[in-house]
């Protein structure tokens, strides 16, 4: 599914922000990604989302060597990956419903085939009454939930979430974690970056810990 070996990453001519990162994620696994601010978590997630290529080392995602992957093949590969960004990246000219349905529309699916699924998911994340609202009138927590719904609506093979519960209350955080867990149970590989140790203790998945650009700990579940 995902295999990194001695991966390094630098921006331009600056110092490496990731150094000698080696790990493997099996299909259907669930991992937390942790570490202090500035440790390189977001850079690693961006690489996993194919927004960055490694400066050195081998990085394979969904069977593809991303260092040599041609640009024209990126869109099709990205459709197999769901991403929850910290800055949400909702489109202001689309309603909440349309934002969440966007991955399905990109796959040329008919609205009549997915409308019920989108509404069911919006109800699940507590946004059923916001389906026709536009992002500028949503709160930060509502935008976060909409972004999560958009990321999971197409049941991606790989789901990447950057602090997905950072803008919601404890009750909604529990509901969202349950959503990630259920998606994982049906086969989606999940990488969830978080500072929330309470969340990690509730679901004892393995942890990948970064510090100063290096993977310093690969911890098994429950340890």
- Domains of the chain, by residue range, sit at 2-219
Q: Are 127 and 145 in contact (CB under 8 A)?
A: yes
Which CATH superfamily, name and number, covers 2-219?
A: P-loop containing nucleotide triphosphate hydrolases (3.40.50.300)
> What is residue 39's three-state secondary structure?
coil
Q: Are 77 and 61 in contact (CB under 8 A)?
A: yes
Please give the C-alpha separations between residue 177 and each of 168, 188, 190, in angstroms, as whole numbers. Answer: 12, 14, 11
Q: What pLDDT is recorded for position 197?
A: 79
> What is residue 91's three-state secondary structure?
coil
Q: What pLDDT is recorded for position 178?
A: 87
Report how far apart the first and last C-alpha atoms of the chain are (Å, whole number).
Answer: 24
Tens of each residue's pLDDT in the chain, 223 residues: 999 999 999 999 999 999 999 999 999 999 999 999 889 999 999 999 999 999 999 999 999 999 999 989 999 999 999 999 888 999 999 999 999 999 999 999 999 999 999 999 999 999 999 999 999 999 999 999 999 999 999 999 999 999 888 878 888 888 888 889 999 999 999 999 988 877 788 787 899 999 999 998 666 555 4
Q: How do 158-162 and 81-84 pair as beta strands?
A: parallel
Tokens representing residue 37 in the block:
């601010």
What is the rounded CA–CA span in Å between residue 113 and residue 184? 23
Q: What pLDDT is recorded for position 223?
A: 45
> What is residue 197's three-state secondary structure?
helix
38: left (phi over 0), alpha (psi -120 to 50) or beta: left
**What percent of the chain shows pLDDT beyond 70?**
97
Q: What pLDDT is recorded for position 202?
A: 79
Q: What pLDDT is recorded for position 167?
A: 78
What is the rounded CA–CA span in Å between residue 197 and residue 98? 33
| Strand order across the beta sheet in which 64-65 lies | 16-25, 2-10, 56-61, 64-65
Q: Are 195 and 163 in contact (CB under 8 A)?
A: yes
Strand partners for 3: 24, 60
């Amino acid at each position: 599914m995902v295999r990194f070996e001695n991966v390094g990453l630098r921006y331009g001519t600056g110092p490496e922000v990731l150094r000698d990162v080696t790990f493997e994620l099996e299909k259907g696994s669930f991992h937390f990604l942790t570490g202090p601010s500035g440790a390189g978590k977001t850079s690693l997630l961006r690489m996993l989302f194919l927004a960055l290529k490694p400066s050195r080392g081998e990085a394979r995602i969904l069977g593809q060597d991303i260092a040599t992957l041609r640009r024209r093949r990126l869109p099709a590969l990205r459709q197999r990956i769901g991403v929850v960004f910290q800055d949400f990246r909702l489109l202001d000219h689309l309603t909440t419903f349309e934002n969440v349905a966007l991955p399905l529309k990109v796959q040329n699916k008919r609205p009549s085939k997915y409308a019920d699924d989108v509404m069911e998911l919006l109800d699940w994340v507590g946004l059923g009454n916001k389906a026709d609202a536009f992002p500028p009138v949503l709160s930060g927590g509502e935008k976060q939930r909409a972004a999560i719904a958009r990321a999971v609506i197409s049941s991606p093979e790989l789901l990447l979430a950057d602090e997905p519960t950072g803008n919601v209350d404890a009750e909604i955080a529990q509901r969202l974690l349950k959503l990630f867990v259920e998606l994982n149970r049906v086969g989606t590989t999940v990488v969830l970056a978080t500072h929330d140790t309470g969340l990690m203790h509730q679901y004892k998945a393995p942890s990948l810990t970064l510090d100063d650009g290096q993977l310093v700990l690969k911890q098994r579940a429950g340890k």
